């Protein structure tokens, strides 16, 4: 039984354009998108690199938080006034006034969505992460790295293609504590 060697390389690029070209070349060599990971110290969208959109659960979590916030606001606006033992009637105004209730519903809905979005992003990004990660210090200086973890493509082909496209360094990826 033959063992397949897993290619585990970290290529560092100085700019976004050579990194995008390298991703295209890696695709041409047969490396799938799920075998490549872009590591950058600056925000880089998938569209900048020609990668498929990554799906996340954050919008669903935010919508759930908005619904919970709306429910909490509705409770405060429409149920809480009836919980007082001696309700306060102000002139001819309704017991549950309309305009202040709308403001309360909006604010509590947005508060629920804001808190749940923060929690969703926090959990979706696996932050904090205490296990060793594959990283090179040049990423903090504005460089872009492509981590290739693939078992079905030869390491020599990948290394040659990345060097040809302008990779500053190509090294075996080592997991280290950050």
**CATH number, residue 170:** 3.30.70
Is 34 found in the same domain as 15? yes
Considering only CA atoms, which of 2, 1, 3, 4 is closest in space to residue 153? 4
CB 44 within 8 A of CB 16: yes
pTM of the model: 0.65
* 10 vs 59, residue with greater confidence: 59
The answer on 116 and 84 residing in a single domain is yes
Count up the domains in the chain and report the number.
2
DSSP state of 134: E
CA distance 69 to 150: 44
- In a domain, residue 64? The reply is yes
Within-domain flag for 12? yes
Task: Judge whether 2 lies within some domain.
Answer: no
CA angle 112/75/102 to nearest 5° reads 75
For residue 20, the tally of other CB atoms under 10 A from its CB is 20
Give the span between the Cα atoms of 32 and 28, in whole angstroms: 9
Query: Is pLDDT above 90 for 110?
Result: yes
pLDDT per residue as tens digits for the range 27-54: 888 888 888 888 888 887 778 777 777 7
79 vs 157, residue with greater confidence: 79
Same domain, 63 and 115: yes
Residue 160 in domain: yes
- Cα separation of 25 and 23, whole Å? 5
Residue 149: inside a domain = yes
Q: Can you list the pairs that 162-167 forms with residues at least 24 positions away whose Cβ atoms lie under 8 Å?
A: 162/9, 162/11, 162/22, 162/25, 162/26, 165/18, 165/21, 165/22, 165/25, 166/13, 166/14, 166/18, 166/21, 166/22, 167/11, 167/12, 167/13, 167/18, 167/22
Local confidence band at 3 (pLDDT 50, 70, 90 cut-offs): low
Is the predicted pLDDT of residue 69 greater than 90, yes or no?
Answer: yes
Q: Are 63 and 106 part of one and the same domain?
A: yes
Residue 85 is assigned to a structural domain of this protein: yes
pLDDT at 1 over 50: no
Decide if 76 is inside a domain: yes
Residues 129-146: tens digit of each pLDDT: 777 777 777 887 888 888
Segment 148-157 shows an average pLDDT of: 81
Task: Print the domain residue range for 145.
Answer: 7-54+133-176
């Amino acid at each position: 039984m033959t063992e397949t060697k897993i290619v585990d390389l970290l290529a560092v690029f100085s700019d976004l354009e050579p990194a995008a070209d390298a991703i295209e070349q890696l695709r041409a060599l047969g490396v799938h998108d799920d075998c490549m990971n872009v590591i950058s110290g600056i925000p880089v969208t998938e569209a900048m690199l020609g990668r498929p959109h990554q799906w996340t659960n954050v919008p669903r979590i935010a919508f759930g938080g908005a619904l919970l916030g709306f429910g909490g606001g509705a409770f405060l606006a429409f149920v809480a006034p009836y919980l007082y033992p001696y309700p306060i009637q102000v002139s001819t105004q309704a017991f549950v006034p309309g305009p202040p209730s709308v403001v309360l519903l909006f604010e509590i809905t947005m508060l629920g969505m804001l808190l749940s979005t923060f929690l969703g992003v926090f959990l979706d990004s696996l932050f904090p992460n205490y296990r060793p990660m594959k990283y090179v210090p040049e990423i903090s200086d504005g460089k872009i790295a492509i981590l290739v973890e693939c078992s079905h493509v030869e390491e020599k082909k990948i290394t040659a293609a990345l060097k040809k496209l302008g990779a500053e360094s190509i090294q075996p990826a080592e997991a280290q504590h950050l």
